[in-house]
Amino acid sequence: MYDVVIVGAGVVGCAIAREVSRYKLKTIVVEKENDVCCGTSKANSAIIHAGFDAKPDTLKGKLNAKANLMYDELAKDLDFPFKRNGSLVLCFKEEDKPALQELKERGEANGVPDMQILSGDEVRKMEPQLTDEVVAALYAPTGGIVCPFNLTIALAENAHMNGVEFAFNEEVKEIVKGEGFFIVKTGNKEYETQLVVNAAGVYSDVINNKVSEEKFTIIPRRGEYNLFDRYIGDMVTCTLFQLPTKLGKGILVSPTVHGNLIVGPNAVDQEDKDNIDTTKEGLEDIMAKALLSVRTIPLGNVITSFTGLRARTDKDDFILGEVKDVPGFINAASIESPGLTCAPLIGKYIAESIKEILEAEINPYFNPKRKGIVCFSEQDEDTKRALIKENPLYGQIVCRCESVTQAQIVDAITRPLGAKDTDGIKRRTRAGMGRCQGGFCLVRNMELLEQELGVHFTEVTKFGKASSFVVGIDKEDL
Amino acid sequence: MQREITCIGCPMGCNLIVQIENGEVVNVSGNSCKIGIDHAKKECTNPTRIVTTTFPVLNGIYPRVAVKTAEAIPKYKIEECMKALKDVAVTAPISRGDILFRNIVQTGINIVATQSVAKK
Amino acid sequence: MEAYDLIIIGGGPAGLGAALEAKRQGITNLLVIDREPRLGGILMQCIHNGFGLHTFKEELTGPEYAERFIEEVVKEKIPYWLNTMVLDITEDKKVYALNAEKGLVELQAKAIILAMGCRERPRGALMIPGARCSGILTAGAAQKLVNMKGYMPGRKVVVLGSGDIGLIMARRMTLEGAKVEAVVELLPYSSGLKRNIVQCLEDYGIPLKLSHTVIKIHGKDRLQGVTIAQVDDKRQPIMDTQRYIPCDTLLLSVGLLPENELSRKAGVELSSITWGPIVGPHLETNIPGIFACGNVLHVHDLVDNVTLESYEAAKHAAEFIKGEQVKGEAVLVTATEGVRYTVPQFVENEPKAPITMRFRVDNVYRNKYLAVYFDEERIVHKKKRILTPGEMEELTFSTELFKKHPKLTSITFKVERS
């Protein structure tokens, strides 16, 4: 019998799992994919929002600015890349300036510190690449950027260290309500539990609607992005938003925490919960809009394009907490932007209500710290030498674009909750995420998975399931 | 009989129209130079190709060794050649030029290693 | 800190050729560094034949071509480090390298030859819309899987781009039992060699769809198919020509880019056309003593040309090391009206030795003239039945020619109607 079953190993599920692990509770996270961070958490803007966007009377408004301020300590404790690069909301028309002011006031009401409205010239001094059309901007120094993969992975690993179990490739098919308990049924297994937490992202409506009469519908909202080579990553330092107008919400241009440049997203509602195809129109649209903010973006430097789905409902706010008609069933649903930012605080919030429901005791062995995979290329020379001395595989580069060593990849595969596929390696170490997109290191990564996991080469996949790379050996079909 | 082939003599890639009677090339048109005529004659009477592939290597420092037909084999025998090599495996050490398979599909031509693979 | 006269970065055909020529020029204190576990570079996975017709007057496979050089390097006792990644090079020619055995090492060179080769353009640069499933890989990655490991990346294949590696892989996959449905090329012509189009595609009845592109990728876990369409003269898809092709593999052969990450770090100036360093007649970059050759300088059509260029670079590097480098006044070379680029990008007055200019045109030209002007005077006017972007052209200018033009200020390459 479990105390808690968390459905979904995205950033929200993992944040909840970590917070729940502060208590003496038997918890398992059940995930339908092969790894953590496979849905909305893996494909978004990777922004830690300052918190001026949401209305103060919404959950988003209440949580955002507070959650933002948790990140310094969290990044230190959990060892994931995070940077406060500041964000700018760009205003392009004189007549829109009042709206900028309004945004500032909203931010202040939400508790966002140190905001400033800057003139066009002032902001161009900060960001010389801005277009002349920018007439003013709202500057929020607390805005930040994060590696969403390593944030999620760090939360999961820390939860796991503190006793939370994880089950992958298990899609929840059915939830049976008993007297004071639930049976969560996946294809292969059944989990008896006191509480169920629904953190199923774009599928959170499906999970909720299986048990509750208070039904809701997730309308996945697609957002497409282009990611650019590091060559132009330093083009801007702040995250550049566009002031929402009647014409739309605008798109962002931002450095990523790893030094790339990201442009996107558009916003198109769709029914399909799995369709993360990119479209020609979408990618053209974001590039056209990006040129409102910055003078040029060399298209030849795109290294990859992707689509993310925001798990939103027409309520336009998070759905958090125990469902009225089903005691013991807790939603962490409808988590759209600023969901990544709020995840740690959502985790706290949900964990506290779990603690109260179950009257849980504190876990005295809880360790809030987790050590990540050493990013060899970012170490100073002495550390590098020491690392190689300890493990010569730190001297063996596998991914040349991102300078990832074999030791890092082996660590990624062999650590608890480690990578089981090449996407898992990529998200943990960045091997294959650079400008050649794995052209050189893919085969080597496959070999390392084969070697470390003891699987056959033909069983190595990109992201589990049927995403294999090779179908057999040569001449066998002749 | 008439056949159309592309000349590979140079980047021009002339579209050659070849008249064949009793297995002999009697006329070539569409060519821009003499290379076209020679190419047409060869291609329409006895087209041949060098075939390259790899064999699995047992006990070698590499899992595969690259190989080729020591000479060009008749084009129509390429598929048969590949099928005949289906279950061939070789053991290291292998030196470049070593004969790894003799008289492939009765052509009298051997399959040779095109690289060396030392023992593990 | 270990000191070398010459450090060559890259042990593929360019690096090997440069090492051997440097040795012939009397440079004995040299080192070749390569990141792979064996010398030979990408040639080791190019198991097809067709290499070396110019250099060895016979048709070799990639490994055979490479091994001939490797054996020479071993015979000449030229030191080389494998599994070693050069992390950084500096303007004053320090080389920071990393390997498992030695750890981090700092080396000092008098001269450096960049010979890192090139890499394939990935899918991202094309922004092909659709799924991000497995089954999409560069032709080079597929070549590695098939030729080095004996594994098949798929059974039904579409190749996007008709670069030579794509054509070669279409044949390799077919020979090993896969069905190649089509090779799809955006341009109205192939950038591959004619011989490869005939012997890799026509021989096996594989259709080459010129002026076509992949407009959508379908699949969830594994690729299920692609939609292709014809494109108009602005390279935009014509929607009513779209056609779905079921396939489990999409191979990309959409261009090669010189791998100049290190060059950038050293402050080497790069060309926005070749993506390689801008060099003068000594194949020397803007940084004195740093030379470049092979695909890192500009993408070549034939390995034989890489070898020749590597010899030139080594000769010039040797002169530099021995203090024998003589520099004249720079003469800018302009590529225009049909000529896309030249390497070198500038020459010098009164050269000591003939200068070979390598260049490519920007389109297919039939029955046009290749013209070279020394200032206003046309000194080359050569009728060409065909000029194509896929084939590198080459012209050599004698020292006498330069003597005849002592006040030369500019050279212009162009394609002319008559």
Question: Are residues B71 and B31 located together in one domain of the fold?
Answer: no
Question: Are residues B70 and B98 located together in one domain of the fold?
Answer: yes
Q: Please, which residues have CB within 8 angstroms of residue A321's CB and are 6 or more apart in sequence?
A: A330, A331, A349, A350, A353
Mean confidence (pLDDT) of chain C: 95
Look at B53 and C47 and tell me if their CB atoms are within 8 Å: yes
Question: C149 and chain A: CB distance < 8 Å anywhere?
Answer: yes
Residue A131 dihedral angles phi and psi, to the nearest 5°: -75, 165
pTM here is 0.94
Residue A35 has a pLDDT of 97
Q: Give catalytic status of residue A49 as yes or no.
A: yes
User: In chain A, what are the domains?
Assistant: 1-81+144-218+313-372 (3.50.50.60), 87-141+219-307 (3.30.9.10), 376-459 (1.10.10.1100)
Question: Hey, of C38, C45, C47, C196, which one would you mutate to test binding to chain B, going by the most B CBs within 10 A of its CB?
Answer: C47
For residue C390, which residues of chain B lie inside 8 Å, CB to CB? 11
Look at C127 and A302 and tell me if their CB atoms are within 8 Å: yes
Look at C176 and A475 and tell me if their CB atoms are within 8 Å: yes
Average pLDDT over every residue of C336-363: 95
Question: Are residues B62 and B34 located together in one domain of the fold?
Answer: no
B118 part of a folded domain: no
Residue entry with tokens 């959409």: C254
Say if residue A148 is preceded by a cis peptide, omega within 30 of 0.
no
Counting Cβ atoms within 10 Å, is residue A278 exposed (0-12), middle (13-18) or buried (19+)? Answer: buried
Q: Tell me the nearest-neighbour CA distance from C52 into chain B, angstroms.
A: 14
Question: Are residues B40 and B92 located together in one domain of the fold?
Answer: no
Question: A477 and chain B: CB distance < 8 Å anywhere?
Answer: no
Question: B52 and chain C: CB distance < 8 Å anywhere?
Answer: yes
Question: Are residues B57 and B78 located together in one domain of the fold?
Answer: yes
For residue B54, which residues of chain A lie inside 8 Å, CB to CB? 474
Instruction: Give the whole-angstrom CA distance, residue A377 versus residue A229.
Output: 17
For residue A476, which residues of chain B lie inside 8 Å, CB to CB? 86
Instruction: Give the whole-angstrom CA distance, residue C38 versus residue C233.
Output: 45
Task: Search chain A and give the residue with CA nearest C127.
Answer: A305
Q: Tell me the nearest-neighbour CA distance from C296 into chain A, angstroms.
A: 15
Of A389, A462, A474, nearest to C152 by CB-CB distance is A474
Question: Where are chain C's structural domains?
Answer: 1-120+255-325, 122-254, 327-418
Question: B118 and chain C: CB distance < 8 Å anywhere?
Answer: no
| Measured CA distances, A275 to A43, A260, A269, A270, C388 (Å) | 13, 25, 11, 9, 41
Look at C49 and B68 and tell me if their CB atoms are within 8 Å: yes
Tens-place pLDDT, residues C286-324: 999 999 999 999 999 999 999 999 999 999 999 999 999
Look at C194 and B68 and tell me if their CB atoms are within 8 Å: no
CATH number at B80 reads: 3.10.530.10
Classify B106 as helix, strand or coil: helix
- If you count them, how many residues does chain B have? 120
Check: CB of residue C339 under 8 Å from CB of residue C389: no
Q: Tell me the nearest-neighbour CA distance from C124 into chain A, angstroms.
A: 4
Instruction: Give the whole-angstrom CA distance, residue A136 versus residue A101.
Output: 10
Residue A247 has a pLDDT of 66
Task: Search chain C and give the residue with CA nearest A400.
Answer: C85
Task: Search chain A and give the residue with CA nearest B83.
Answer: A478
Question: How many beta-carbon pairs under 8 angstroms link A with B?
Answer: 12
For residue B114, which residues of chain C lie inside 8 Å, CB to CB? 47, 60-61, 63-64
Q: Please, which residues have CB within 8 angstroms of residue B102's CB and are 6 or more apart in sequence?
A: B110, B111
Check: CB of residue A379 under 8 Å from CB of residue A388: no
Tell me which residues of chain A have a pLDDT lower than 50: none
Q: Tell me the nearest-neighbour CA distance from C203 into chain A, angstroms.
A: 17
Q: Tell me the nearest-neighbour CA distance from C85 into chain A, angstroms.
A: 7
Question: Are residues B37 and B57 located together in one domain of the fold?
Answer: no
Task: Search chain C and give the residue with CA nearest A389.
Answer: C103
Look at B51 and C44 and tell me if their CB atoms are within 8 Å: no
For residue A400, which residues of chain C lie inside 8 Å, CB to CB? 35, 85, 261
Look at C134 and A401 and tell me if their CB atoms are within 8 Å: no
A45: left (phi over 0), alpha (psi -120 to 50) or beta: alpha
CATH topology for C1-120+255-325 is FAD/NAD(P)-binding domain (3.50.50)
Q: Tell me the nearest-neighbour CA distance from C22 into chain B, angstroms.
A: 26
pLDDT surpasses 70 at C268:
yes
Say if residue A338 is preceded by a cis peptide, omega within 30 of 0.
yes
Counting Cβ atoms within 10 Å, is residue C366 exposed (0-12), middle (13-18) or buried (19+)? Answer: exposed
For residue C48, which residues of chain B lie inside 8 Å, CB to CB? 52
Question: B29 and chain C: CB distance < 8 Å anywhere?
Answer: no
Q: Tell me the nearest-neighbour CA distance from A474 into chain B, angstroms.
A: 8
Q: Tell me the nearest-neighbour CA distance from A456 into chain B, angstroms.
A: 15
CATH topology for C122-254 is FAD/NAD(P)-binding domain (3.50.50)
- Residue A140 tokens read as 């929020």
Q: What's the domain range around B34? A: 2-46
Chains with 3+ CB–CB pairs under 8 A to A are B, C
**At C113, is the pLDDT very low, low, confident or very high (cuts 50, 70, 90)?**
very high
Does the fold of domain C122-254 match that of domain C1-120+255-325?
A: yes
What is the number of other CB atoms lying within 10 angstroms of the CB of residue A389? 11
Question: For chain C, what percent of residues have pLDDT higher than 70?
Answer: 100
- If you count them, how many residues does chain A have? 478
Say if residue A141 is preceded by a cis peptide, omega within 30 of 0.
no
Instruction: Give the whole-angstrom CA distance, residue A118 versus residue A112.
Output: 16
Average pLDDT over every residue of C15-21: 98
Residue A300 has a pLDDT of 81
Question: A215 and chain B: CB distance < 8 Å anywhere?
Answer: no
Check: CB of residue A41 under 8 Å from CB of residue A148: yes
Question: Are residues B38 and B74 located together in one domain of the fold?
Answer: no
The question of ipTM being above 0.85 is answered as yes
Instruction: Give the whole-angstrom CA distance, residue C204 versus residue C202.
Output: 5
| Measured CA distances, C164 to A287, C140, C171, C254, C305 (Å) | 32, 11, 11, 10, 16
B119 part of a folded domain: no
Look at B54 and C147 and tell me if their CB atoms are within 8 Å: yes
Of C60, C62, C175, nearest to B82 by CB-CB distance is C175
For chain C, the distance separating the N- and C-terminal CA atoms, rounded to the nearest angstrom, is 59
Residue A223 dihedral angles phi and psi, to the nearest 5°: -140, 125
For residue B5, which residues of chain C lie inside 8 Å, CB to CB? 198, 202
**Residues in chain B whose Cβ is within 8 Å of chain A:** 53-54, 79, 82-83, 85-86
Chains with 3+ CB–CB pairs under 8 A to B are A, C
Question: A382 and chain B: CB distance < 8 Å anywhere?
Answer: no
Look at B83 and A474 and tell me if their CB atoms are within 8 Å: no
C377-384 — which CB contacts under 8 Å span 24+ positions?
C377/C405, C381/C416
Of C47, C149, C150, nearest to B52 by CB-CB distance is C47
Check: CB of residue A53 under 8 Å from CB of residue A242: no
State the sign of the Cα–Cα–Cα–Cα dihedral C88, C94, C98, C103: negative
Residue C122 has a pLDDT of 80
Look at C63 and B115 and tell me if their CB atoms are within 8 Å: yes
The total number of structural domains that make up chain B = 2
Question: Hey, of B52, B86, B104, which one would you mutate to test binding to chain A, going by the most A CBs within 10 A of its CB?
Answer: B86
For residue C137, which residues of chain A lie inside 8 Å, CB to CB? 439, 442, 469
For chain A, what is the HEC assignment? CEEEEEECCCHHHHHHHHHHCCECCCEEEECCCCCCCCCHHHCCCCEECCCCCCCCCCHHHHHHHHHHHHHHHHHHHHCCCEECCCEEEEECCHHHHHHHHHHHHHHHHHCCCCCEEEEHHHHHHHCCCECCCCCEEEEECCCEEECHHHHHHHHHHHHHHCCCEEECCCCEEEEEECCCCEEEEECCCEEEEEEEEECCHHHHHHHHHHHCCCCCCCEEEEEEEEEECHHHHHHCCCEEEECCECCECCCEEEECCCCCEEEECCCEECCCCCCCCECHHHHHHHHHHHHHHECCCCHHHEEEEEEEEEEECCCCCCEEEECCCCCCEEEEECCCCCHHHHHHHHHHHHHHHHHHHHCCCECCCCCCCCCCCCCHHHCCHHHHHHHHHHCHHHHCEEECCCCEEHHHHHHHHHCCCCCCCHHHHHHHHCCCCCCCCCCCCHHHHHHHHHHHHCCCHHHCECCCCCCECCCEECCCCC
Residue A317 has a pLDDT of 95
Amino acid at A168: F
B99 part of a folded domain: yes
B120 part of a folded domain: no
Residue A299 has a pLDDT of 82
Question: C400 and chain A: CB distance < 8 Å anywhere?
Answer: no
Question: C220 and chain A: CB distance < 8 Å anywhere?
Answer: yes
Question: Are residues B26 and B9 located together in one domain of the fold?
Answer: yes
B21 part of a folded domain: yes
Of B63, B68, B96, nearest to C150 by CB-CB distance is B63
Look at A474 and B85 and tell me if their CB atoms are within 8 Å: no
Q: Tell me the nearest-neighbour CA distance from B90 into chain C, angstroms.
A: 14
- Residue C392 tokens read as 């590198």
Question: How many beta-carbon pairs under 8 angstroms link A with C?
Answer: 152
Question: Are residues B61 and B82 located together in one domain of the fold?
Answer: yes
Look at C129 and A280 and tell me if their CB atoms are within 8 Å: yes
What is the number of other CB atoms lying within 10 angstroms of the CB of residue C354? 13
Look at C47 and B114 and tell me if their CB atoms are within 8 Å: yes
